[in-house]
């Protein structure tokens, strides 16, 4: 389905069927911006009934109808599979914990979606992300969203100058509560719709069951850091560092009745290591090494500098010292050791509210149980 308009839109809004993108579109229409909505299908429905794509698409159509703007649809599921999902599976198979939202933004939303918008004659795209873009000193800067609890700059750290120059975030300056209030006042049916959570292509279904379709599980031993057998696990790549849920370790003779946490993985040996201390020394890293760094402004501010960083989404920013290595990777030393800095996840750097960029965590100096 595609709307028809006599003039090409200047801005194409990524309408997801959620409240955030709905209000982003409404704000542009209120400002008199010539715009259209585009719904992206990024995952083929597998018939499980867990994919909400059709419901979301109907909601997106309804919002565009309410706002009187053209509606367009594009199927990016093949591009998503090749650019995001194959990497997701390869990382889990290697025992790492990937972040598909980061890749989805880089490979789909700010690449194929941007190309599709330009094919429609638009100059730029808009999304419902909680982030802000500002031009300073001839460069585009990615800033945190005003609502710190909803800020999504962490997931957008792979964007560059060309993408930011062609992007607007209409709700980035608003708190979430106000976004819902605006949607309600505008009569948008999505005003009370629950936020989507978790990984988009898994939805509400069981993560292990889903991953097991693509990566055959093999049971193995759970051991403590000293190598003492504690129990068995259903598959080592189902777990990530610091995880507490799903271990199914009952009472262990001679051990306190306290929770267990994942503190290490030996993928080759199919062994999962656990400890009963949430802040176990086996989980704490003072230095984190990354793969090649992506700098939003194209280059680092210096070869060595101080800033703040996050090693996971919604973490409080942590003071650190950054050293840029000759190959473009980073060595980041934290003032306070970081818990469960996980290979495959993203380390993202900030200078105040400005996101400098980010990179995939390659390794840490946390001790390795064996």
Q: Using CA atoms, how far apart are residues 109 and 365, in angstroms rounded to an integer?
A: 34
φ, ψ (nearest 5 deg) of residue 68? 70, 35
- Whether 104 is a known active-site residue: answer yes
Marked catalytic residue, from 35, 51, 200, 320: 200
Q: Using CA atoms, how far apart are residues 354 and 333, in angstroms rounded to an integer?
A: 20
**Closest to 279 in 3D by CA, of 344, 365, 360, 366:** 366
- Whether 200 is a known active-site residue: answer yes
Q: Using CA atoms, how far apart are residues 39 and 25, in angstroms rounded to an integer?
A: 12
φ, ψ (nearest 5 deg) of residue 55? -60, -45
Tell me, what DSSP letter sits at residue 162? H
Q: Using CA atoms, how far apart are residues 150 and 356, in angstroms rounded to an integer?
A: 19
Q: Using CA atoms, how far apart are residues 80 and 63, in angstroms rounded to an integer?
A: 25
* Strands across the sheet containing 71-75: 71-75, 35-41, 11-14, 124-126, 167-168
- Taking phi over 0 as left and psi of -120 to 50 as alpha, with beta for the rest, 114 belongs to alpha
DSSP H/E element including 88: helix 86-93
Q: Are 340 and 283 in contact (CB under 8 A)?
A: yes
Q: Using CA atoms, how far apart are residues 298 and 296, in angstroms rounded to an integer?
A: 5
Marked catalytic residue, from 35, 51, 64, 104: 104
Pairing of strands 318-324, 304-310: antiparallel
DSSP H/E element including 79: helix 77-80
Q: Using CA atoms, how far apart are residues 277 and 90, in angstroms rounded to an integer?
A: 30
Catalytic center residues: 104, 200
């Amino acid at each position: 389905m595609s709307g028809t308009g006599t003039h090409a839109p200047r801005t194409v809004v990524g309408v997801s069927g959620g409240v955030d993108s709905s209000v982003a579109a409404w704000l542009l229409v209120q400002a008199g911006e010539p715009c259209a909505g585009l719904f992206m299908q990024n995952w083929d429905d597998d018939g499980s009934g867990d994919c909400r794509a059709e419901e979301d698409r109907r909601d997106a159509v309804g919002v565009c109808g309410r706002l009187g703007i053209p509606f367009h649809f594009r199927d990016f599921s093949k591009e998503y599979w090749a650019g995001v999902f194959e990497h997701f599976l390869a990382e889990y198979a290697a025992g790492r914990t990937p972040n598909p939202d980061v890749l989805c933004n880089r490979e789909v939303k700010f690449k194929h979606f941007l190309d599709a918008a330009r094919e429609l004659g638009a100059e730029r795209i808009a999304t419902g992300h909680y982030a802000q873009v500002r031009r300073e000193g001839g460069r585009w800067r990615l800033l945190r969203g005003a609502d710190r609890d909803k800020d999504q700059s962490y997931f957008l750290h792979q964007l560059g100058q060309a993408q930011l120059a062609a992007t607007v975030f209409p709700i980035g300056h608003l708190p979430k509560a106000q976004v819902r209030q605006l949607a309600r006042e505008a009569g948008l049916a999505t005003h009370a719709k629950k936020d989507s959570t978790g990984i988009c292509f898994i939805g509400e279904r069981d993560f292990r069951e889903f991953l097991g379709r693509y990566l055959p599980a093999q049971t193995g031993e759970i051991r403590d850091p000293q190598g003492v057998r504690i129990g068995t696990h259903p598959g080592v790549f189902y777990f990530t560092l610091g995880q507490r849920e799903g271990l199914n370790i009952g009472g262990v003779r001679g051990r306190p009745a306290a929770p267990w946490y994942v503190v290490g993985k030996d993928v080759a040996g199919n062994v999962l290591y656990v400890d009963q201390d949430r802040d176990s020394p086996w989980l704490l890293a003072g230095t984190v090494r990354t793969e090649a760094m992506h700098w939003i402004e194209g280059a680092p501010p210096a070869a060595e500098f101080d800033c703040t960083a996050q090693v996971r989404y919604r973490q409080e920013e942590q003071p650190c010292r950054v050293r840029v290595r000759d190959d473009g990777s980073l060595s980041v030393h934290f003032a306070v050791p970081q818990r469960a800095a996980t290979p495959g996840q993203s380390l993202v750097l900030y200078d105040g509210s400005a996101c400098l960029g980010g990179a995939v965590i390659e390794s840490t100096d946390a001790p390795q149980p064996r």
